[in-house]
């Protein structure tokens, strides 16, 4: 099979990924061999390829928004051959620690992640734990399903972490693959959604998807924010976002890697404003969001690339030349 392999992290402009021919992987006990039909391109993949997120082993195949079909299962599996499934970021959790027992498997200290600890979906095939693949809604094309498996799920969890309630005013800071899927979820809850983004194409997309207001962080929105989710990986934006939050408001930061947050004047945080991070997602998040996506008829805005062009897809993301999400096709 063919796979994009990362042996030495580096700037995406140097094309660190190499397309290689590898032996077909073999599923072990409790695992399934999957044929990749599509794989979404995530900013976490870019952080990994450029070395901002440390790979657990090298070489490694990135990719954790995988739409695939079951080829065969290893001992102890029962997924039907040919069934279509999704592979997300969380590849495995122990099920025994205090976090797993509390339903917080996303915080498991022994957790393993697709495309980081295990080879991911920038390939023609991969192996996954059968208990950690997700059922996919019927009638959703592969290219539409792929971005739901991380960008969509983590956006959904971010709204939960921000404690968004129906009818509130929600700010989305940065408007890429994840934010453009969080927006319709917030709208479905009757929220007013203010989108803060610099790119002209992103502003047009936000307006087209129903944002109540679109502008830049330097501008004053029509009213204070009840809740905010920060998707842009820039710590320097945090003080300004806190300025826009009402007393008692909450900011959830959706980033696995972010530049440092500058020193804060306490009055930015006072009046019971809160800051929280979003770390990974659980299988429950995935199942709930995928069901909701089917009910809402969510259709991601995507640009398709062949597997051979994975470096180019990541570069287009880095330089904000994508309208929303990129998807690789083997």
Q: pLDDT tens, 274-323?
A: 999 999 999 999 999 999 999 999 889 899 999 999 999 999 999 989 88
Residue in 233, 255, 229 with CA at minimum distance from that of residue 241: 229
Write out the residue limits of the CATH 3.90.180.10 domain(s) in the chain: 2-149+300-329
- The CATH code for residues 152-277 is 3.40.50.720
Query: Strands 245-253 and 225-230: what pairing?
Result: parallel
User: 71 pLDDT band (50/70/90 cuts)?
Assistant: very high
Q: Please report the pLDDT score of residue 89 as a whole number.
A: 97
Cα separation of 245 and 282, whole Å? 28
Q: Is the pLDDT of residue 139 over 80?
A: no
Q: Which of the four pLDDT bands, split at 50, 70 and 90, describes residue 156?
A: very high
Q: What is the CATH number of domain 2-149+300-329?
A: 3.90.180.10
Contacts of 49 (CB under 8 A, 6+ apart): 6, 9, 10, 12, 16, 17, 62, 314
pLDDT value of residue 323: 82
Which of 88 and 258 is assigned the larger pLDDT? 88
Rounded to an integer, the average pLDDT of 172-198 is 95
The ranges of the chain annotated as CATH 3.40.50.720 are: 152-277
Task: Specify the pLDDT at position 140.
Answer: 84
């Amino acid at each position: 099979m063919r796979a994009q392999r990362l042996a030495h992290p580096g700037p995406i402009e140097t094309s660190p990924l190499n397309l290689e021919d590898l032996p077909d992987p073999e599923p072990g006990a409790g695992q399934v061999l999957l044929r990749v039909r599509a794989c979404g391109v995530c900013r976490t993949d870019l952080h990994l390829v450029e070395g901002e997120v440390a790979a657990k082993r090298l070489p490694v195949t990135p990719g954790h928004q995988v739409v695939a079909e079951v080829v065969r299962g290893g001992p102890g599996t029962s997924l039907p051959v040919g069934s279509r499934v999704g592979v997300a970021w969380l590849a495995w959790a122990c099920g025994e620690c205090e976090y797993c027992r509390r339903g917080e498997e996303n915080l498991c200290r022994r957790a393993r992640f697709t495309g980081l600890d295990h080879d991911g979906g920038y390939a023609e095939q991969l192996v996954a734990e059968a208990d950690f693949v997700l059922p996919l809604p019927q009638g959703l094309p592969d290219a539409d399903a792929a971005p739901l498996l991380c960008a969509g799920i983590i956006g959904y969890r971010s709204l939960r972490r921000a404690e968004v309630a129906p009818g509130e005013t929600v700010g989305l800071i940065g408007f890429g693959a994840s934010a453009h899927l969080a927006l319709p979820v917030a709208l479905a809850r009757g929220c007013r959604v203010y989108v803060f983004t610099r790119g002209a194409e992103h502003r047009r997309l936000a307006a087209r998807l129903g944002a109540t207001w679109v502008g830049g962080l330097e501008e004053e929105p029509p009213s204070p924010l009840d809740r905010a989710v920060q998707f842009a990986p820039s710590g320097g934006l945090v003080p300004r976002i806190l300025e826009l939050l009402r007393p008692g408001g909450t900011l959830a930061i959706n980033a696995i890697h972010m530049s440092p947050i500058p020193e804060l004047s306490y009055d930015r945080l006072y009046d019971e404003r809160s800051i929280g991070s979003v770390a990974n997602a659980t299988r429950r998040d995935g199942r709930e969001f995928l069901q909701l996506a089917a009910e809402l008829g969510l259709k991601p805005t995507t640009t398709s690339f062949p597997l051979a062009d994975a470096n180019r897809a990541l570069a287009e993301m880095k330089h904000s030349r994508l309208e929303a999400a990129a998807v690789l096709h083997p």
